[in-house]
Amino acid sequence: MARKKIALIGAGNIGGTLAHLAALKSLGDVVLFDVVEGVPQGKALDLRQCAPVEGFDVDVKGTNDYADIAGADVIIVTAGVARKPGMSRDDLLGINLKVMKAVGEGIAANAPDAFVICITNPLDAMVWALREFSGLPHQKVVGMAGVLDSSRFSAFLAEEFQVSIKDVTSFVLGGHGDTMVPVIEYSTVSGIPVPDLIKQGRSTQEKIDAIIQRTRGGGGEIVALLKTGSAYYAPATSAIAMAQAYLGDEKRVLPAAVHLTGQYGVDNLYVGVPVVIGAGGVEQIVEIALSDEAKKNLDVSVDAVKELLVACKAIDGSLA
Ligand code: APR
């Protein structure tokens, strides 16, 4: 059987880390694409020189030519720019929308059968735009945010409860970042929901609320520490888990930004919800009953996504 092929669009911090992880895990041959000449080639050369030490046989190639992504099974998109001081939200949207247009057209022309995972921010708007520009089926284009947000939430919960991370599961919905909706009733330590752990005196509502706030601001906390650039190890690790779920037909239940058609009362928008990922891409959307508070928070999150799409449509008339 031929090796799988993983194309990474954007060879920056996350793209390079994705390439490293994909090669270490031998997920398939890796193609690292960027518009900047030399960077994907240099990173690919460096990564190929890991192979003798790590013993992986997959190839890693750097390129500036979309033709090289032909036949990719999975494409992970991190292309774009981060918001810089003085740049308005609409400036950023304008720049990254243009990038999504180029990437969407490149994918449509060269790898229309791929499963596409978008990471570029603002995530919920960019994944929607990427789907529109590429014209791929909705179930083959997803946004990576929920795995990262729930991973951050789980890491903080494990620290709070002083238990192994292996025994913590956490559940988040909604948009990426400030408006994400952690659902503590479905967040557990070995199946024991967080509200029960609070009742047992193992934590307090105040401490859990502080953890939720820290999770929402998880990306910003890292930006403030790094000063230049944003998080990349956990975002890359999260997207690789999604790629593996697809490539291995694992049917994993993971939170992802997906196209909703009425679920959770949301129509024709990309919003973060739990889904089953397998060989068909997004194979099921998992709907759970929400408390009034979670429903209210999800509505706020959905409104924020809608606002972004209005701004996108104003910038690029072809999306309207
Ligand atoms: N096509 C391909 N690559 C592009 C394009 C384009 N049109 N425009 C920019 N790029 C490349 C840049 O050259 C750069 O190498 O995208 C890469 C982005 O890398 P970084 O700036 O290092 O950003 P990174 O930390 O990897 O984050 C990428 O993911 O989490 C989000 O907010 C983050 O939107 C950002 C994205």
ipTM: 0.99
- CA dist 79 and 214 (Å) reads 27
- Which of 68, 78, 230 maximizes ligand 1 atoms within 8 Å of its Cβ, making it the mutation to test the pocket? 78
Q: Is 20 a catalytic residue?
A: no
Task: Tell me if 64 CB under 6 Å of ligand 1.
Answer: no
CA of 60 to the centre of ligand 1 (A): 19
Among protein residues, the one whose CA lies closest to atom 15 of ligand 1: 12
- CA dist 47 and 188 (Å) reads 38
- Which of 8, 17, 18, 35 maximizes ligand 1 atoms within 8 Å of its Cβ, making it the mutation to test the pocket? 35
Task: Give per-residue pLDDT as tens, 178-227.
Answer: 888 889 999 999 999 999 999 999 999 999 999 999 999 999 899 899 98
Task: Give per-residue pLDDT as tens, 123-173.
Answer: 999 999 999 999 999 999 999 999 999 999 999 999 999 999 999 999 999
Q: Which of 240, 192, 172, 205 is nearest to 24 (CA)?
A: 240
pLDDT for the residue numbered 320: 84
Torsion region of 190: left, alpha or beta (phi above 0 gives left; psi -120 to 50 gives alpha)? left
- What is the pairing mode between strands 74-77 and 115-118? parallel
Choosing from 20, 138, 176, 259, the catalytic residue is 176
Task: Tell me if 35 CB under 6 Å of ligand 1.
Answer: yes
Residue 83 has pLDDT above 80, yes or no: no
Task: Tell me if 132 CB under 6 Å of ligand 1.
Answer: no
Residue 92 has pLDDT above 80, yes or no: yes
Alpha helices in 119-232 (DSSP H): 123-134, 146-161, 194-199, 205-216, 218-226
Task: Tell me if 14 CB under 6 Å of ligand 1.
Answer: yes
Residue 176 has pLDDT above 90, yes or no: no
Task: Tell me if 121 CB under 6 Å of ligand 1.
Answer: yes
pLDDT for the residue numbered 179: 82
For the chain, the average pLDDT equals: 95
Numbered residues of the known binding site for substrate: 83, 89, 121, 152
Task: Tell me if 13 CB under 6 Å of ligand 1.
Answer: yes
Residue 257 has pLDDT above 90, yes or no: yes
- CA dist 206 and 112 (Å) reads 48
- CA dist 213 and 121 (Å) reads 20
Count each helix (H run) and each strand (E run) in the chain, helices first.
Answer: 11, 14
**pTM of the entire predicted model:** 0.97
The residue to which tokens 């192994």 are assigned: 164
Q: Report the 10 Å Cβ neighbour count for 193.
A: 16
